[in-house]
Amino acid sequence: MKRSILATAFVAATFWIANTPAFAQHGRPASPGAVAPSMHGGASSGESHASSRPTTSPSSPDAVLSRNSHLSGALSKALAKSGIQVSDLAGTCKPFKTLGQCIAALHINHKFPSCTLADLSTAKNLGAGIQGCRPQADAKAEARSATKQAKQDMKDSNS
């Protein structure tokens, strides 16, 4: 009895894992014999799918700020309430993977001017960046606080 349950669970898990990448790539599970629609008129157009993909991540600061035109101004106002002045938010946030990371790094840079945005953007994570430029600080607590402030700023700018 235990062996049949275990075998069934193994087969189900294998099937689920095998179909997960197809679901993530196309937004729907792949069905046998289905042809994925092309953005450029099908496979005969001569272009590969890779060439039609954007070069930036959908969650990159550039992409987020370009999709939400009011967001840059609203975030700049939210940051100004904390005493952080940013003239070009998109340019400032370009080296970061996400807008949230950038806003958190701006809070760290404001609190610890020795922690440059360049150092924070290349660090493994925000805590490591803080530890690198300010060893005596409680990096975990500071990173947690900056992330919380960033989330609040983003929430305030969306309302």
| pLDDT for 50 beyond 70 | no
Does residue 54 belong to any structural domain of this protein? no
Give residues with Cβ within 8 angstroms of 133, minimum separation 6: 112, 114, 115, 116, 119, 120
Containing domain of residue 125, as a range?
A: 61-158
- Residue with the bigger pLDDT between 105 and 76: it is 105
Mean pLDDT of the chain: 75
Does residue 102 belong to any structural domain of this protein? yes
Does residue 99 belong to any structural domain of this protein? yes
Greatest Cα pair distance, the chain, in angstroms, is 67
74-102 pLDDT, tens digit per residue, is: 888 888 888 888 888 888 999 999 999 99
Q: Rounded to two decimals, what is the model's pTM?
A: 0.62
> Which sign does the torsion angle of CA 69, 75, 78, 79 carry?
negative
